[in-house]
Amino acid sequence: MCGIIGYIGKKEIVPLLITGLKRMEYRGYDSAGLTVLNNDSKVLTRKKKGRVADLEQLINSEKIHSNIGIAHTRWATHGFPNDVNAHPHNDSQEKISIVHNGIIENYAVIKKKLLSEGFEFRSETDTEVLCLLIERFYLKVNDLELAVRLALNEVKGTFGLAIVSTYDPDKIIAARRGSPLILGVGDNEYFVASDASALIEHTKNVVYLDDDEMAILSPDGYITKTISNVQTNNEVKTLEFDLEQIEKGGFEHFMLKEIYEQTQTITDGFRGRLLIDEGNVKLGGLRTVKEDFRNAKRIIISACGTSYNAALVGEYLIEQLAQIPVEVEYASEFRYRSPVLFDDDIVIVISQSGETADTLAAVQEAKQRGIKVIGLVNVVGSSIARQTDAGIYVHAGPEIGVASTKAFTSQLTILTLLALYLGRMRNISSEEGLKIARELSAIPEKIKQILNIAPEIEKIAKTYSYSRNYLYLGRGFNYPVALEGALKLKEISYIHAEGYPAAEMKHGPIALIDENMPVVFIAPKDEIYEKIVSNIEEVKARKGKVIVVTNIGNNELDRLADHIIKIPETLPILTPILSVVPLQLMAYYTAKELNRDIDKPRNLAKSVTVE
């Protein structure tokens, strides 16, 4: 969450910074600001509550020329979203300017000390505390880099930050701890950003900073070192996506584009890994831990949000195919409840960004206990990818819409591959493996069939777009899909929605059902189909509005359902990859009917890098 970009080179900086902020706006959009150096006396800072476009309008009339600066788009943590609390924050003499992602946990103690020494504060933010702390040290040591290192040694919490100052006008100083930061290496120009999307149109050559590492950028190059001043030598990596992947490509919203991309991203997930003719799976990223999986007595999957819902499907998959007990934990609770871990456990963490703070904390907790940790992440080179013992990249490509869609189905694809890999290793026959592999390879074409009925789904969404509450119900593999469908609707339409196992409805939620309550059932024809039909009967008896997702060819529910969405038939274990797609479309079209900001829903950010 929050986006940082900084640049030093020969280009005019304001258009570059504004474009970079727009590329990262999905990380935070409460306010935006920039600082450039264009004289020797003071930093020039402009900031504005609202979207990046509001900042752009503010500075359009000014003739600002510079080749060095920093910028920020904010998701508020400390302090209300307003002009004053927007980043960048400056020191008392307007000579040091800082942009910051993360949270300074001991800011109150530091602020009290600074107040006692006569420093004055303009904002309510923890970031201004850090800026004034740097100023305090600079006034003592007369060395900006040293002042930054001394300040960072005093703070507790997380930070990804970039600093410019008239004290040292040919440098950008950047540092990170627990919040992502990457350097872009161009042709006699250098960048710092919290997200590769801000850099991709300028360079594909990047350096990932590690925790407690800083970088000093100048027109002549860059150096990296630890905060304790030990020089480091980080490898330059190449970004694996292109600019067109983060453009809308003719779609009205990124979310809709990403829903339609699922036919390709699922294929990308299993390409080169799914050995269809053998009914098996090749996962090169797990070769160093293959024996650990063979000997594992239990798997714990930890994740947040949409990734948590994918993890629940993973629990069903692995237990059914590999007969290994699985527990699913919210990453935000994992390290705080003293989890009982055994030497032969394996912890799997799932994160689209690979930077989710709670999930990263779960990684560190498990590793401290000596447990093998496997990462399922989408972003190559992310913190979780670098800190886990082994892993599998999801290969969903950049996901810009805040409400995750293609990353979810890609995660389900990877979890299916993993379950089949473990199953073949332990107890599944080649014949059964062959059946699963063939069906998984057919999933992208079946998603195309669902996308072809999008206009029908849009009509249903419009019919109930003004409902105040929704229930989503499923059983077995499709219970987590009910959770995900409800989450999508909440995220982008702001309609209250809850997902439940269908049988749990009668233990409380049934009290909510009346003629104004839409209830969405995921009801494929599987071994528990008759049970969910009984649950539909219970809702219908109470005049609830029934929307059913079921298989093509199943006409038994016509007498009960107010609306039916039919999806292609597949194996029960693969149904979630199909059944979630109409729920994504329902959420999208509902939000569109209500004129919501679909790609940037209120109060949310794409990558939650603070606790």
Catalytic residue list: 2, 606
Distance CA 282, CA 11 (A): 46
563 token code pair: 């609306």
Largest Cα separation within the chain, whole Å, is 80
Beta carbons of 180 and 609 less than 8 angstroms apart: yes
The strand pairing partners of 174, in sequence order, are 162, 215
Q: Is residue 581 within 8 Å of residue 450, measured between CB atoms?
A: yes
- Choose among 206, 311, 253: nearest CA to 26: 253
Give Cβ neighbours of residue 112 (< 8 Å, ≥ 6 apart): none
> Identity (one letter) of the amino acid at 135?
E
> How many other CB atoms are there within 10 angstroms of residue 564's CB atom?
19
CB 86 within 8 Å of CB 35:
no
Residues in the chain: 611
Give SS3 for 420: helix
Q: Are 194 and 162 in contact (CB under 8 A)?
A: no
What 3-state DSSP class applies to 359? helix
Our CA dihedral for 313, 319, 325, 327, rounded to 10 degrees, sits at 0
Distance between CA atoms of residues 151 and 147, nearest Å = 6
* Beta strands at 469-474 and 496-501: parallel, antiparallel or unpaired: parallel
CA pair distance 387, 390, nearest whole angstrom: 9
First-residue to last-residue Cα distance in the chain: 11
**Coil, helix or strand at residue 466:** coil
Structural Rg of the chain based on CA atoms: 25
- Yes or no: say if 126 and 103 are a contact pair by the CB < 8 Å rule: yes
> Hey, which bits of 237-289 come out as E strands?
237-238, 274-275, 280-281
Q: Are 48 and 32 in contact (CB under 8 A)?
A: yes
Count of beta carbons in the 10 Å neighbourhood of residue 487: 23
Cβ contact 74:84 at 8 Å: no
Alpha helices by DSSP H, listed for 375-525, are: 383-387, 406-426, 430-452, 454-463, 479-493
